[in-house]
Amino acid sequence: MENGHHHHSPHHHHHHPEVADIASLRGIYLISIALNLAFVLVEAGIGLWKGSLGLLSDAGHNLSDVFTLVLALIAFRLAQSHSSKKFTYGYRKGSILISLLNAILLLVAVGAILAESVHKLRHPVPIDGSAVAWTAGIGIIVNGLTAFLLMKHQKNDINTRGAFLHMAADTLVSVGVVISGILISLTNWTFIDPVIGIVIALVILVGTWQLLSESVRLTIDAVPESIDPDAVRQAIEAEEGVDSVHHLHIWAISTTETALTAHLVIEPQAEQENVVRRVKQKLSEKGIGHATLETERKGRPCADNSKNCVS
């Protein structure tokens, strides 16, 4: 066969979750959603009981975290979706759109923290020390545990990383509330609370900016940051039997899978099927699980306008 399109099975993608990992991550999401929803109900209840507007507003903020986790779970399910006649990659691209939405929500949360902190600096308010500190302490446990559960999986999936950043950020906020509560009770310096809020917001912003930029890149089909296109090209051309490669395209199908199409010029004496198989294996090792390769023989004359020649 002189000219052909070869498609590589996605199951060899080294970032693609195994069955055990899929079940584990789904369970982590469900546990995290239940934990955080329970915390929202407790916090809102204490806020109503104590008449604390601060606790009620924080409960609203934590409800947005539940929404973030639900979005991440939906994205996780979309990334596992199967192809159909109309959607040949399933709904996997939807997982990238959700990662972009998550990044935007994180930016909104940063903006809200900054706005609230500036407002508190200009209009200091007395802080309900004990109730806020105890509730913040519970928040550290709940958010910290959720972040810990997600930490292992956040390296291979941008949506899980977004959820991890949300929960880690909230853990920082809760730590900040406890520290500021202790310091204020000792010094009566109420400005400490908003200052810590601003510092935390800036820390969150650094992580969020990277998440946002990567999400935008994946949305417009840029090469994923984990893939070096020059290294991919060099690896293909270094394979025995490959003369050159052109029309090379690399893009993300989902937040966990990468695709590639390329045109290979094969040496005249090389076994084409073996060359293609070895190239696909090498691509799989580099994190590219969906490879479609078109091949042609080097030096084939073009007089007959054949697709099998080098143009």
Q: 5-10+224-297 and 17-219: same fold?
A: no
The domain limits of the chain are 5-10+224-297, 17-219
DSSP track, 34-75: HHHHHHHHHHHHHHHHHT-HHHHHHHHHHHHHHHHHHHHHHH
The model's pLDDT over 104-133, given as tens digits with 9 standing for 90+, comes to 887 887 888 788 888 878 887 666 566 667
- For the chain, list residues with pLDDT below 50: 1-17, 301-311
pLDDT at residue 249, as a whole number: 94
pTM over 0.95: no
Say if residues 254 and 79 touch (Cβ distance below 8 Å).
Answer: yes
CA-based nearest residue to 169, from 238, 107, 237, 234 = 107
Q: What pLDDT digit, counting tens, does each position of 255-288 carry? A: 778 899 999 999 888 888 899 999 999 998 888 8
CATH assignment, 5-10+224-297: 3.30.70.1350
HSE (CB half, 13 Å, CA atoms) of 108?
Answer: 10
What's the pLDDT at 12? 38
CATH dotted code for 17-219: 1.20.1510.10
